[in-house]
Amino acid sequence: MPEPANKLKLPALTAIVVGSMIGGGIFSLPQNMAASAGAGAVLIGWIITAVGMLALALVFQTLANRQPQLDAGVYAYAKAGFGDYMGFSSAWGYWVSALLGNVSYYVLLFSTLGYFFPVFGDGNTTLAVICASVLLWCVHFLVWRGIRDAAFINQITTVAKIIPLAIFIVIVAMAFEAELFTADFWGRANVELGSVLDQVRGTMLVTVWVFVGIEGASVYSARAEKRGDVGRATVIGFLGVLLLLVLVNVLSLGIMSQPELAGLKNPSMAYVLEHVVGPWGAVLISVGLAISLAGALLSWALLCSEILYSASKDRTMPAFLRRENAHQVPVNAMWMTNALIQLFLVITLFSNSSYLSLLYLATSMVLVPYLWSAAYAMRLAWRGETYEGSLAECRKDLMIAVLALVYAIWLLYAGGVQYLLLSCLLYAPGAILFAIAKREQDLPVFTRLEKLIFAVVSICAAVAGYCLYAGLLKL
């Protein structure tokens, strides 16, 4: 634990939230959203997302203020409210989501380099996977040297995110065509998009993905100088990033039509700017994104390790994940994380997984931690715990928590059966680590209810495995 002088202040916590959310997703947003929806459905999707994610941000703010002792990150709320297995599942799901996020960043990075070197293709060619693997282990040993060194580099690369985004928004706003934006506003000319509801559903996993990281301050809450700053950083970061995301997405729809945007390679922002100003626009975005992703890979490597390390300290995860090296880096957590990232990189080669498919799967994995956090906040407010004599505040927080929970459930529905089954396939093996952690404490592995929950997850995982084998599901 850092000394008070080295604790994180509000600007640093806000930077963590913003830095976690602005990675590579925003640079691919125009194509990712247009692939599923027309302009009208996109706007509806952003309204739903703004309300739902703001409710989640306020939930994290409330929990940070009312349960300051739960400083191990987002999974601690599930554990406190619903038992050890739910807490473990939240930690595991959040970790796997961050891990898949890392994989998608490697794919996106080499897809970006594919603009200059076509041999990298969409980031999942043989050469792209080999180069991504080399970079993965370079990042591994860089972080191995110490968290401070990697964090310093991440601060420098943050500039690479802001400059191209600002230039893009200014230029595209000046070139925006209202008639193009309103043409086929509801996407009816493209029957493959389906109804407006189908289109809105199709945008949901994308909009959630670009907000993954909203709980970043909670992950580092134990390192905060003031506990109240954790919640404030979450809300401030959310509002700033929301503005950037909506501007990038909506303005692009006034530059190119929905079919044109949907057909772009990623990072699609590069090709949108190229459409307006020529090749130098694509070069600017591509270079900025490449540098930005280099920093994001470092910060997400730290985040993945921190999740496992924090969970092992309170015995949610096995003890071997608590081991640190001389630089206070959780080395076993890093080895485990990067070994699985390497495995998924190889899988992208054989399954031809794209950035967008990895994005969907990573998002579906993070929904469980979000859902249980909202449910825990609702439980606190419903029972009036920590609200002694503050009935009005209790009712307000209850309404916000209910809204956040409804949003989380809607996201599970919007994601569809495919990603729910694939999520179970990734959740089920985690029980091995849960069992090890329980045996280390000489405790029974499951309660009666937890046995039932694990049985359901295992059955869904078996169905997913069969469907993958039969070709009915694809990664």
User: Measured between alpha carbons, how far is 336 from 73 in angstroms, rounded to an integer?
Assistant: 19
pLDDT at 4: 46
pLDDT tens, position by position, for the chain (475 residues)? 444 445 777 877 777 777 667 777 888 899 999 999 999 999 999 999 999 988 988 888 788 778 878 876 678 899 999 999 999 999 999 899 888 888 888 988 898 898 889 999 888 889 999 999 999 998 888 778 765 544 555 556 666 677 888 899 999 999 999 999 999 899 888 888 889 999 999 899 888 888 876 766 565 666 677 767 777 887 788 888 889 999 999 999 999 999 999 999 888 999 999 999 999 999 999 888 887 787 677 777 777 888 898 889 889 999 999 998 887 888 899 999 999 999 999 988 877 666 677 778 888 888 888 999 999 999 999 998 888 878 888 999 999 999 999 999 998 888 888 888 999 999 999 999 999 999 999 999 999 999 999 999 999 999 999 998 888 877 6
| Distances 388 to 61, 70, 374 between C-alpha atoms, Å | 18, 19, 21
DSSP 311-356: HHHTTSS-GGGG-B-TTS-BHHHHHHHHHHHHHHHHHHHHH---HH
Helix 228-252 to helix 39-66 angle, to the nearest 10 degrees? 170
Could you give all domains of the chain from N- to C-terminal order, each with its CATH number?
A: 4-417 (1.20.1740.10)
Confidence at residue 218, expressed as pLDDT on a 0 to 100 scale: 60
DSSP-derived letter for residue 23 is S
How far is Cα 404 from Cα 16, in angstroms, rounded to an integer? 22
What is the predicted pLDDT for the residue at 92?
94
pLDDT given at position 1: 41
Rounded distance between C-alpha atoms, residue 114 and residue 108, angstroms = 9
Count CA atoms closer than 13 A to 240's CA, side-chain side.
19
Mapped onto helix, strand or coil, the DSSP state of residue 255 is coil
- Please give the model's pTM, rounded to 2 decimal places: 0.85
SS3 224: strand
The predicted structure's pLDDT at residue 220: 61
